[in-house]
Amino acid sequence: MKHYKALEKQFRRISAINGALAVLGWDQATMMPEGGARARAEQVATLSVLRHEWITDPKLGDQLDQAAADTKALDDWQRANLREMQRQWRHATALNPKLVEARAKASMACELVWRKARRDNDFKSFARAFQPVLELTREVAAAKSAAFGLGTYDALLDEYEPGGRSASIDRLFADLAGFLPDFIDRALAKQAKRPEPLPLQGPFPTATQREVGLKFMKVLGFDFNRGRLDVSAHPFSGGVPDDVRITTRYAEDDFTKALMGILHETGHALYELGLPKAWRDQPVGEARGMVLHESQSLLIEMQVCRGAEFLQFATPLLRKAFKGGGEAWSETNMQRIYARVKPDLIRVDADEVTYPAHVMLRYRLEQAMLSDDLPVDDLPHAWNDGMQTLLGVDVPDDRNGCMQDIHWPSGAIGYFPTYTLGAMSAAQLFAAARAQDTSILPGIAKGDFKPLLKWLRTNVHGRGSLLTTDELLREVTGKPLGTAAFKAHLKARYLN
């Protein structure tokens, strides 16, 4: 037991570094002046190397072996914590400190270049900064592949979804790829028989949009004593469970995108805020992985807040806040706006029917870049061809094409498939929640999210990393991750 307790103490210190890095990352994206980039890169690299040194300390490896040899005195949470400690140790010890430092610096530099390059539609500048990130990511993938006995892509995927494997993703995505083209055609045909959504006339002042977003965050259960809302070039959720930072971006000619961005990130934040307090600074107290994390954001944004019950509650508040009137501001029209299927350019603004195509494209392209089958200079052409093939969309420029996401500049290759896996999980979880607590939907219609939040706290948030993703889904929904609930949800919303 003493070896396990020593491990808890060391991982508590590692958790503090992770938290500091998370807040530094938020500050970089929201507040940091451009002139601070060099100093911030050094800070992040130094903390990343220090974290790596602590977790790869030979003494820690010995303690892990000794604790694993005697688990009789440990309870279920402690055994799961030891499992997660071992997983983090394996990932860290696969890399040498120089690679860790180089990757952190290159990603930081590329992310800063990406912001300006995207704004200026300057792919060449981005490509020069991204090339070293990609090369270092290949080195990371190769090192972890050798250490874990996995393919290079799976070695990276495991960083974001523990135990996730591309073979499983390929099967699920193949199922969706066979379903979606015909379904999109049917949904568009059904939609064409209804009146077009009436446009909402702006402008919609940013200050008012922010007030509305804050109001809905509060209704959903966000704790402003432990979090805040800011603006960034790309919406995200960051920080730590007791200091959650979420962001969005505003456009004064359309409030709907920023609002859905806020609701999406609030879903992430509610998960972080609900993680088990007793294990807050231990690996088992962390979110299970990005599949469940994305399930929580998409459950709130897509399953709940684009649904009839939420819009029944929300429409009068939106009408009052933006001083809207007439049929355009009716509940029926708002439902048409938020359930509109329209193949388009931008992933974060995509409807839930076409969204998987955006993810599948990125999944395919990042695998090709990782394996060196797709040179960075050829990325725009491959991207544009993919958008035309999958969605019939012409891409006018790289700013709205292959440079639109922050993931690749920051080195996050292996993350993208978790979005669609999260959408599938969200459908399974919300179906189970509605079946197990019949007060959830009536509550949402009245603006009472307590029943839903209580269910999520009990079945998902409060479990931390006690169970694997599939174990949790099997226990809570009765089934492993699959496409059936997601398909059923799409049919019910878009074909009825």
Report the Cα 268 to chain-centroid distance in Å. 7
Q: Identify whether the C-beta of residue 400 lies closer than 8 Å to the C-beta of residue 418.
A: no
Query: Dihedrals φ, ψ of 244, to 5°?
Result: -85, 130
Tell me which residue of 406, 365, 418 sits closest to 160, measured CA to CA: 418
Q: Give the whole-angstrom CA distance, residue 269 versus residue 9.
A: 26
Fill in the amino acid letter for 356: P
Q: Give dist(CA 414, CA 91) in Å, integer.
A: 15
**53 catalytic residue (yes or no):** no
In 388-403, which positions are buried (b, 16+ CB within 10 angstroms) versus exposed (e)?
eebbebebeebbbbbb
Residue 95 to residue 147: CA distance in whole angstroms: 9
Strand partners, 231: 248
Q: What is the CA radius of gyration of the chain?
A: 22
Backbone angles phi, psi at 479, to 5 degrees: -145, 155
Could you list the beta-strand ranges (E) of 293-398.
none
For 353, list phi and psi in degrees, rounded to 5. Answer: -75, -45
Of the candidates 110, 116, 115, 148, which has an alpha carbon nearest to the alpha carbon of residue 129?
110
CA dist., res. 36 & res. 59, Å (int): 36
How many CA atoms lie within 13 Å of 34's alpha carbon, on the beta-carbon side?
5
Q: In this structure, what token pair is assigned to residue 224?
A: 């402003």
Residue with tokens 């990406």: 114
Q: Which two tokens stand for residue 19?
A: 């938290």
Exactly one of 265, 272, 286, 352 is catalytic; which is it?
265
Which residue from 317, 337, 322 is spatially nearest to 203, judged by alpha carbons?
322
Examine residue 442 and say whether the peptide bond preceding it is cis (omega within 30 degrees of 0). no
Which two three-digit tokens encode residue 481?
């991750």
Instruction: Say what angle helices 484-494 and 417-436 make with each other, to 10 degrees.
Output: 80
> Strands 237-240, 243-248: parallel, antiparallel or unpaired by DSSP?
antiparallel
160: nearest Cα among 461, 460, 413 = 413
Write out the catalytic residue numbers: 265
